[in-house]
Structure 1
């Protein structure tokens, strides 16, 4: 019974942590997390949860669609989330008058303790007609810093398209 309670607690903490909003409506984190997938595997000993096959994760305005999502836990909390797809897609509505944020890449790495999302391999972010594209886009939500490209990895050039302000 204790093992079942620990497993359920780990699963609940995993789901809450995986959906910590980076650019979210402030009310998103109070909404329920819903996960759909063709397959689910929880390895309690290794603290790894894997959802695979048409994975859809939603919480409030946030939605992630991937082929596979792997969640790594450390001491009862989520440490890292890896989403893989062709491509992985996400969207989320931020607070205020900002437009919907959409993104896609073949791989998303979310480093929970650093509040950092890394989009890898053919990554693109869109908001309000503005586009950021590169092989690597990193968003540090603690410091509100976006970086794109990676000279060390021989990344393609960064392409940014900014729409003029409307009068």
Structure 2
């Protein structure tokens, strides 16, 4: 039995409480994301609020930045304080995030472009090749291609 499989058996079956308390770390996507690339947004409608520096895209929202793609029912765009660029995106309603071959779904996602992080909450499901990981919350660091899962982490590992 390969050492990796023995480690997984220990982590998930012999010591499950420690695994849930610490979270579960995974990679997401093929490589790091360049968060300085332009962000392209398409949607059915757009409303802009000049007072608070935000914009709301609704209906079939599609976001692309480099290799990363995000889809949602609604995305609230928050601009930086000097309105020179986007500070963060908050997506709600059937959020789907893809980067390379990896796919993540959740009820909501907040992408902080300045930090290069994505926080996904609510029914998070990550599909990587033939394996699936589910949790209450996932925090991704797009720059170094890592993700950490927290809360009711469940992993389904399949052999080929």
1:162 deviates by 3.0
- CA-to-aligned-CA distance 1:104-138 (integer Å, 9 cap, x gap): 10101111221111110001111111222111011
Determine if contact 1:32/1:59 at 8 Å carries over to the other structure: yes
2-structure distance, mates of 1:66, 1:23: 19
Determine if contact 1:25/1:61 at 8 Å carries over to the other structure: no
What secondary structure does 2:114 align onto? helix
Unaligned segments of structure 2, at least 5 residues: 1-27
In structure 1, the partner of 2:77 is 71
In structure 2, the partner of 1:54 is 60
In structure 2, the partner of 1:84 is 92
Unaligned segments of structure 1, at least 5 residues: 1-21, 94-99, 150-154
2-structure distance, mates of 1:64, 1:134: 19
1:32 deviates by 7.8
Determine if contact 2:31/2:144 at 8 Å carries over to the other structure: no
1-structure distance, mates of 2:78, 2:47: 12
Comparing both chains, which one has the higher relative contact order based on Cα–Cα distances under 8 Å and sequence gaps of 6 or more?
2
From 150, 153, 156, the equivalent of 1:158 is: 153
Aligned residue pairs total 131
RMSD of Structure 2 on Structure 1 (CA): 3.0
1-structure distance, mates of 2:38, 2:116: 21
- 1:28 to 1:109, Cα distance in 2 relative to 1, 3 A: closer
- 1:89 to 1:43, Cα distance in 2 relative to 1, 3 A: same
